[in-house]
Amino acid sequence: MSSDDDSDQAIDAGGILYHERLTRTLSRIFQVNRVLYAGRTKYQRIEVVDTPDFGKMLILDGKVQFSLRDEFIYHESLVHPVMFTHPSPEEVLIIGGGDGGALKEVLKHNIVKNVTLVDLDEEVMDIVKKYVPEMFKDSLKDPRVKILNMDGRKFLAETKNKYDIIIIDVTDPFGPSTLLYTKEFYQLVNNALKDGGAMVTHSEGMYSSRKEFVTIYKTIETVFRNTRAYGAFIPSFGDAWTFTIASNTLDPANMDVKVIEKRMKERHVETQFYYPEMHKVLFTLPKDLLKDLKEMKVTISTDKSPVQMPA
């Protein structure tokens, strides 16, 4: 029976509906064909579901983390702008990213020598490997990869290693994750970067979480000389999603398309969404957003008063 037949049958029978709360006052409901897994790890609630519109989806604490239908938009947008901005990203650190998507994209760059992925929740990784093996593919067999299941902030505080690129792909700022969005955390990130290095983090929805995005951006801006925001619409997230790159030397917004094109060919990187001309598009932000980045009054996120998504 085809997936279309499955979805039609689910509609006829009433079906299973998943409720995701985007904000305190805004929700969405999507249909589920099958629940592949539902349970709790030591740290969070987890569901893996198969849907007619987005295929397999990973949901943590009621928030969609990826769908197979469009994960490439999110992960390519997170990884490639910062990787191609750097002339030689050999040492890469991923904080979070336990679903394997960011790792898969980083490994496309043949110039990379070592990737360390630090994710707190080993159970999430095991569940994704079992139920959505398409995400990791063969990346965990790559000799360049080292996996550590521990707190990412603790790792940064203790490591003596330095990295060309640090990618932060953690859950939204609520609960313990709020301390991965503070000035003190970004200072640890800065300390762990090599001279000429850069970091990138996802920074929430452009419209549904505008204040939280501006707060994250302005917090990072207090630590790094160059801070640049960009965004891409992610259908399964229901919003244009933002990302923020920061560096003390590099500026991704001023990258020449020809340079990106050359690096892409040299590194043999193949993509579905990102390409050299798209780089400039990603950094072209709506006028109202630019205004808010300059004028919106927010409180810098600190350990004592971290940015937090509304409950």
Going along the chain from its start, the domains and CATH numbers come out as 3-67 (2.30.140.10), 71-295 (3.40.50.150)
Q: Could you say which of 50, 169, 172, 292 is catalytic?
A: 169
Selection from 263, 198, 259, 206 nearest residue 230 by Cα: 206
Residue 37 CA to residue 144 CA, distance in Å, equals 30
Which residues lie closer than 8 Å to 143 by C-beta, 6 or more apart? none
pLDDT band, very low/low/confident/very high, at 14 (cuts 50, 70, 90): low
- Element of type H or E holding 63: strand 63-67
pLDDT band, very low/low/confident/very high, at 2 (cuts 50, 70, 90): very low
Look up 169 and say whether it is catalytic: yes
CB of 242 closer than 8 Å to CB of 205: yes
Percentage helix, strand, coil, to 5, in the chain? Answer: 35, 30, 35
Residue 185 has pLDDT above 50, yes or no: yes
pLDDT band, very low/low/confident/very high, at 10 (cuts 50, 70, 90): very low
The model's pTM: 0.94
pLDDT band, very low/low/confident/very high, at 13 (cuts 50, 70, 90): low
pLDDT band, very low/low/confident/very high, at 12 (cuts 50, 70, 90): low
